[in-house]
Amino acid sequence: MIIVIQCKDQVGLVAYIAAILAKQQLNIISMREHVDHTENLFFMRVQVEDNDHEDAKLEQLLKRLLPEGAMVAVNPNPAKKVVVLVTKEYHCLADILIRNFFKTLGATVQCVIGNHATLQNVCERFDMPFYHIPHEGVSKEEFEQQIDAAVAKYSPDYVVLAKYMRIVPPSFVSKYPMRIVNIHHSFLPAFIGANPYRKAFERGVKLIGATAHFVSNELDEGPIITQQIVPVNHSFTVTDMVKAGQEVETSVLAQALKLVFEDRVFVSKNKTVIFS
C-alpha cells in the first residue's frame, strides 16, 4: 500500500501519521518526507504492508489529523492506464511497448495514437491498438478534437508524448493536469526548430541530453521530472549525435515514467519533489 501526502507543514506531522498507521496495525516499510521551508509545505510518501485495509477509511482518518486542505491519496490508482501519442520516431515508443509487453512498465498502455501511420506496424507487432489521426487536410481545431476524443475514450490516468511533434492545446492540458508526460532533447532553447542535432553539430557542443517533464500551457516549461546528459566530442558525426540523443531520450523517459507510476513525484508550483 502506498500513501502520499502533501499539506502545510507543522510540528509533529511525522509522529502523528506514524501513530495513526500503527493504530491501524499497518507496518511501515519505508517513509520519505521533505519540507519546503520557502512555501511551508510538507511532502510524504509512505509504503506499508498491505493488509486489505479500507483505503477510503484510512484516507479520512489522515485528513482529520492533517492541516486543512491536505491532499491525501491511499493507493492512488494502483492499476494505472496510459495512452501514448507519437509522430514518426520509434525509439521511445518501442521501449514503452516492450516494457508494457513484459509487464515491467508499472502501468498498462491502452492504445497508441499517431498523427502519421509510420509506427502502426510496430504497434501491430505487440497487438497494441493504433489510431492514425492525420493533421493534414483538416483544421487545427478539428484535428485536436479528434485527438481529444480518441484519448478520452480510454479515460487514461496519464498521457505520454513519446516524441509527439505537435503542441497540445490548453483545453487538452486542462483535462489532464500534471498527467501529461513529455520528452525533449536538452538543447532547448539553444537549438529550436528542425534539425537540432545538425545545428548542435555545427556549433560543436560537448554535451547532449534529454529532459522529461509534465506538460503545462507554457511550451516545454512544465515541472521537470528527470534529466540526463552524455558527453560528445569532435569525433561524433551528426548521425552519432542523433543516436546518442535517442538513447538518452529513451532512458530519461523510462526513468520518469517509473517515478510517476510509482507515485514518487509531487508537483509544487512549477517544481517537483521526487522520492527516488
Phi and psi based region of residue 63 (left: phi greater than 0; alpha: psi -120 to 50; beta: remaining): alpha
Question: Does the pLDDT value for residue 51 go beyond 80?
Answer: no
Q: What is the pLDDT of residue 35?
A: 97
Q: In 3D, which of 144, 220, 148, 147 has the Cα closest to residue 184?
A: 220
How far apart are alpha carbons 24 and 60 in whole angstroms? 13
Q: How confident is the model over 139-157, as pLDDT tens digits?
A: 999 999 999 999 999 999 9
pLDDT at 243 (0 to 100): 96
Q: Among the residues of the chain, which ranges form H helices?
A: 13-23, 55-65, 91-101, 120-125, 140-152, 170-175, 196-203, 238-261
Question: Looking at residue 143, what is its pLDDT?
Answer: 97
Q: What pLDDT shows up at residue 192?
A: 79
pLDDT at residue 147, as a whole number: 98
How many C-beta atoms surround the C-beta of residue 237 within 10 A? Answer: 10
**pLDDT confidence tier of residue 253, bands split at 50, 70 and 90:** very high
DSSP state of 13: H
Report the pLDDT value the prediction gives residue 75, as an integer from 0 to 100: 87
Q: Please answer whether residues 31 and 3 qualify as being in contact, where contact means their C-beta atoms are separated by less than 8 angstroms.
A: no
Q: Is pLDDT above 80 for 171?
A: yes
CA distances from 65 to 2, 16, 87, 153, 269 (A): 18, 8, 48, 38, 25
Residue pair 130/112 in contact (Cβ under 8 Å)? The answer is yes
Neighbours of 255 (CB within 10 A): 16
Answer whether residue 102 shows pLDDT above 90: yes
7-50 residue pLDDT tens:
999 999 999 999 999 999 999 999 999 999 999 999 999 999 97
Nearest partner of 216 among 263, 144, 269, judged by Cα = 269
Q: Is residue 269 pLDDT above 80, yes or no?
A: yes
Tens-digit pLDDT profile for residues 195-249: 888 999 999 999 999 999 999 998 889 999 999 999 999 999 999 999 999 999 9
Element (H, E) at 46: strand 41-48
* 237 contacts: CB under 8 Å, gap ≥ 6: 201
What is the reported pLDDT for 137?
Answer: 93
Active site residues per annotation: 220
CA 247 to chain centroid: 18
DSSP, collapsed to helix, strand or coil, labels residue 197 as helix
Tell me the C-alpha distance between 209 and 122, whole Å. Answer: 26
